[in-house]
């Protein structure tokens, strides 16, 4: 099938590439010329495991095209995806200006009937706005062309996006029109050949499903962070508690890891946007408010532990920070807990030596050449001359450090473990002062 995808961010680029991989003819469109030129040369704007060879191979095979020319992209394509960003605006609502702009562009250039698929995370009611924007542009040029707007939210995780796209656990389709549903089933069919993973529903329910999924996952994390905070006060170990509850299938093992708070481009923004939607409809969502509040507090928790250890004497100290990305296997630092931590440390007059396997470039881009930040090329380099180590992201290579070397390298022999990677007993045996999240009395 012939497909156009507006937006070459995580969602658009991964979806487009995977659709090309299963044999569709895909054109990815973006307004960013540098991005599109880079993609044509095989230079990806993001780091995502397994994506680069797929982009290069499918581009070479002539199934994956990149362009800034919206008119060419729209012409003759039967399915047009909108996968542009919906950043939060000032009050936390999703800002739909990019989505609506793409809708207008589609309306201006549409020549043949098409299904317009909303893949961006958009509040309930957006399909209607997209529909109206396209219809207005068609009317303005006196054209009458059939089109149908469908909601098809994306559930891929950064760091595992290609795998998630190739093997989706469900494909939610919100549509009024049976023919549009059948087209999308045909498009995605090869991903789900042996299982019926399509969940078909009305448009509003599909739009809300996306927010409900992310809000539920964020709720699990904030819940565990709350339990961790209680554990610290009552002298319990939240890691034991986690193991004690995860085997109950009603609770499940996933997303019950306490830590430095959830970050990324999705949970913080989507919890806020769902809260605003509820409020706009006259409902005060108490649980969602609490999920966000707990997370905001949790993002400062590592710094609170550091302050508790050092009191007010942080000025002049140097902290090695392992992990800058908001989670492993990505270079994305949007709403990353590392940022909150470093900013607190800098405000207190401390210095940071940071290492991340993928996010070094991004950190340099965000923070420029600050004197109190040194971005290191190796995890051991970050330890040199540091007083303490703070682990913020659970990259695999941080899991079994040489504890003797850690003890020797760190001036104050203190480890703050924001992801509970280490055993408190091993740390104690190695002579390192250890602070985890929710692991016994640290308050
Ligand atoms: C999230 C969802 O998991 C995807 O299903 C969804 O498609 C995506 O948002 C989206 O809306 O596009 P993502 O933001 O890539 O995916 O990352 P997650 O793996 O969900 O992690 C989010 C944050 O939660 C990270 O900061 C991670 O460290 C934190 N987390 C996760 C915890 O603190 N504890 C856990 O147990 C799990």
Percent above pLDDT 90 for the chain: 92
**Average pLDDT in the 411-427 region?**
96
pLDDT of 350 > 90? The answer is yes
pLDDT of 36 > 60? The answer is yes
Nearest CA to ligand 1 atom 33: 262
pLDDT of 443 > 60? The answer is no
CB proximity list for 260: less than 8 A, separation 6 or greater: 298, 299, 301, 302, 337, 338, 341, 392, 418, 419, 437
Is there a single domain that holds both residue 229 and residue 290? yes
Is there a single domain that holds both residue 289 and residue 406? yes
pLDDT of 379 > 80? The answer is yes
Nearest CA to ligand 1 atom 29: 262
Is there a single domain that holds both residue 401 and residue 439? yes
Residue where a domain terminates, one of 169, 201, 233? 201
**Average pLDDT in the 121-129 region?**
92
| pLDDT band of 312, cuts 50, 70, 90 | confident
Gap from CA of 229 to ligand 1 centroid (Å): 21
Is there a single domain that holds both residue 177 and residue 58? yes
pLDDT at 441: 64
Q: How many CB atoms lie under 10 A from the CB of residue 424?
A: 18
**Average pLDDT in the 289-303 region?**
98
Determine the Cα–Cα distance for residues 231 and 301; give it in Å rounded to an integer. 14
| pLDDT band of 442, cuts 50, 70, 90 | low
pLDDT at 390: 98
Is there a single domain that holds both residue 145 and residue 45? yes
pLDDT at 369: 86
Determine the Cα–Cα distance for residues 409 and 339; give it in Å rounded to an integer. 24
* Torsion angles phi and psi, residue 250, rounded to 5: -70, -25
Tell me if 349 sits within 8 A of 316, measured CB to CB.
Answer: yes
Tell me if 46 sits within 8 A of 13, measured CB to CB.
Answer: yes
Is 214 close to ligand 1, i.e. is its CB under 6 Å away? yes
Paired strand residues for 355: 322
> Is 6 annotated as contributing to ligand binding?
no
Helix (H, G, I), strand (E, B) or coil at 274: helix
**Average pLDDT in the 57-67 region?**
97
Is 394 close to ligand 1, i.e. is its CB under 6 Å away? no
- Domain of 386, CATH number, reads 3.40.50.720
Q: Which tokens hold the place of 146? A: 């059939």
Residue where a domain terminates, one of 168, 201, 234? 201
pLDDT of 88 > 90? The answer is no
> Is 210 annotated as contributing to ligand binding?
yes
Is there a single domain that holds both residue 237 and residue 90? no
Furthest-apart CA atoms within the chain: distance in Å: 78
Nearest CA to ligand 1 atom 35: 255
Is there a single domain that holds both residue 21 and residue 52? yes
pLDDT of 389 > 70? The answer is yes
Domain that holds residue 169: 2-201
DSSP state of 439: B
H or E stretch including 429? helix 424-429
Is 157 close to ligand 1, i.e. is its CB under 6 Å away? yes
Is 255 close to ligand 1, i.e. is its CB under 6 Å away? yes
Is there a single domain that holds both residue 264 and residue 413? yes
pLDDT at 63: 97
How does the average pLDDT of the chain come out, rounded?
A: 95
Is there a single domain that holds both residue 117 and residue 232? no
Q: Which residue has the higher pLDDT, 196 or 354?
A: 354
Place of tokens 């695999």: 396
Determine the Cα–Cα distance for residues 172 and 441; give it in Å rounded to an integer. 45
> Is 123 annotated as contributing to ligand binding?
no
Is 327 close to ligand 1, i.e. is its CB under 6 Å away? yes
Q: Which tokens hold the place of 124? A: 């309930």
* pTM reported for the whole predicted model: 0.94
Q: How many CB atoms lie under 10 A from the CB of residue 245?
A: 15
Read off the pLDDT of residues 187-201 as tens digits, 9 standing for 90 and up. Answer: 999 999 878 899 999
Residues labelled catalytic: 266
Is there a single domain that holds both residue 374 and residue 441? yes
CA angle 20, 21, 24 (to 5 degrees): 35
**Average pLDDT in the 278-300 region?**
97
pLDDT of 203 > 60? The answer is yes
For the chain, the domain total comes to 2
Is there a single domain that holds both residue 226 and residue 183? no
ipTM value > 0.90: yes
pLDDT at 91: 86
pLDDT at 92: 80
Determine the Cα–Cα distance for residues 173 and 160; give it in Å rounded to an integer. 22
pLDDT at 93: 85
Is there a single domain that holds both residue 178 and residue 226? no
């Amino acid at each position: 099938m012939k497909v156009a995808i507006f937006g070459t961010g995580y969602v658009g680029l991964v979806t487009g590439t995977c659709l090309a991989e299963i044999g569709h003819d895909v054109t990815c469109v973006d307004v960013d010329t540098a991005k599109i030129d880079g993609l044509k040369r095989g230079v990806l704007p993001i780091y995502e495991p397994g994506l680069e060879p797929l982009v290069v191979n499918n581009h070479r095979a002539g199934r994956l095209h990149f362009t800034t020319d919206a008119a060419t992209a729209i012409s003759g394509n039967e399915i047009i995806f909108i996968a542009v960003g919906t950043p939060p605006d000032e009050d936390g609502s999703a800002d739909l200006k990019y989505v609506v702009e793409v809708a207008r562009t589609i309306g201006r250039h549409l020549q043949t009937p098409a299904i317009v698929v909303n893949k961006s995370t958009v509040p309930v009611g957006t399909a209607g706005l997209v529909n109206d924007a396209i219809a207005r542009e068609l009317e303005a040029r006196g054209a009458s062309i059939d089109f149908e707007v469908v909601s098809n939210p994306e559930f891929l995780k950064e760091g595992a996006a290609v795998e998630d796209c190739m093997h989706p656990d469900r494909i939610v389709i919100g549509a009024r029109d049976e023919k549009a549903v059948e087209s999308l089933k045909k498009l995605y069919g090869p991903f789900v050949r042996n299982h019926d993973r399509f969940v078909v529903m009305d448009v509003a329910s599909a739009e809300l499903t996306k927010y409900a999924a992310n809000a539920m996952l964020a709720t699990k994390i904030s819940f565990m962070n709350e339990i961790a905070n209680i554990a610290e006060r009552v002298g319990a170990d939240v890691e034991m508690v986690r193991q004690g509850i995860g085997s109950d299938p009603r609770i499940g093992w996933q997303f019950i890891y306490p830590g430095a708070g959830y970050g990324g481009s999705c949970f913080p923004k989507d919890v806020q946007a769902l809260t605003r939607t509820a409020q706009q409809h006259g409902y005060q969502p108490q649980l969602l408010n609490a999920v966000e509040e707990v997370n905001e507090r949790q993002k400062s928790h590592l710094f609170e532990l550091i302050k508790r250890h050092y009191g007010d004497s942080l000025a002049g100290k140097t902290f090695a920070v392992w992990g800058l990305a908001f989670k492993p296997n990505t270079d994305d630092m949007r709403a990353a807990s590392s940022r909150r931590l470093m900013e607190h440390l800098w405000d207190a007059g401390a210095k940071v030596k940071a290492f991340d396997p993928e996010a070094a470039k991004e950190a340099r881009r965000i923070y420029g050449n600050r004197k109190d930040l040194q971005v290191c090329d190796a995890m051991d380099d970050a330890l040199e001359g540091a007083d303490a180590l703070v682990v913020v992201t659970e990259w695999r290579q941080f899991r079994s450090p040489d504890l003797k070397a850690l003890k020797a390298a760190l001036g104050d022999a203190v480890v703050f473990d924001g992801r509970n990677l280490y055993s408190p007993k091993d740390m104690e045996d190695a002579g390192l002062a250890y602070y985890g999240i929710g692991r016994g009395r640290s308050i």
